[in-house]
Amino acid sequence: MTFFIACHPSISKEKFTPGTPEFKGQKLFKDMACDACHSIDGTLNRGPTFKNHYGKEILHTDGSVVIIDEKYIRESIIFPRKFIAEGFPPIMPSYKPVLSDEDIANLIIYIKTLK
Ligand code: HEC
């Protein structure tokens, strides 16, 4: 049996299987330019890095602390101004108009894989 693997230069170093939620989430992460502000390797950028991000506690400018879970990531993408992570400027745009529920679910699955 032969598999045709679509090879995109910017994602070729990752090992997700095309068509899986992880693969779609990774593609969205690049296509939506999340990677312009969020690194996946721990590098400090304009936004928090997503390396080991899932499950971590995050302090907000209002003093509240939340655990990063699916609900929190979803809200951060739809209403980025609701909570602002301490130490970061409130510059993230809302992706409500451009991302479907499924897109966001795929992004969350991808973010969970970043260790
Ligand atoms: C213009 C820069 C920028 C872009 C583009 C951007 N973000 Fe952000 N994002 C930020 C900044 C800065 C913060 C931290 C401040 C805040 O909480 O809003 C943040 C916070 C977040 C958080 C909450 C993280 C935490 O630790 O509290 C999530 C989740 C997130 N972004 C996901 C995304 C996703 C997914 C995309 C692409 C669809 C994206 N961001 C695109 C700048 C950006």
List pLDDT tens digits, range 84-102.
Answer: 999 999 999 999 999 999 9
Quickly state the pLDDT bin for 78 (edges 50, 70, 90): very high
**57: which strand partners?**
67
SS3 at position 102: helix
Q: Where are the domains of the chain?
A: 20-113
What are the distances in angstroms from CA 98 to CA 41, 50, 94, 104?
A: 26, 21, 9, 10
Enter the tokens of residue 60: 């907000």
Question: In this predicted model, what pLDDT tens digit does every residue of 22-76 receive, in sequence order?
Answer: 999 999 999 999 999 999 999 999 999 999 999 999 999 999 999 999 999 999 9
Instruction: Kindly report the protein residue whose alpha carbon is nearest to atom 24 of ligand 1.
Output: 48
Which architecture, in CATH terms, is 20-113? Orthogonal Bundle (1.10)
Q: Six-digit token pair at 44?
A: 């400090």
* Cα 18–chain centre separation: 18
Q: What is the pLDDT of residue 111?
A: 97
Distances (CA, A) of 17 to 14, 47, 74: 9, 28, 24
Token code pair at residue 30:
């690049």
Ligand 1, atom 23, lies closest to the CA of 76
- Helical spans, DSSP H, in 1-115: 21-31, 70-78, 101-113
Q: Which residues line ligand 1 (CB under 6 A)?
A: 32-34, 36-38, 46-48, 58, 68, 73, 76-77, 80, 83-85, 88-92, 95, 107
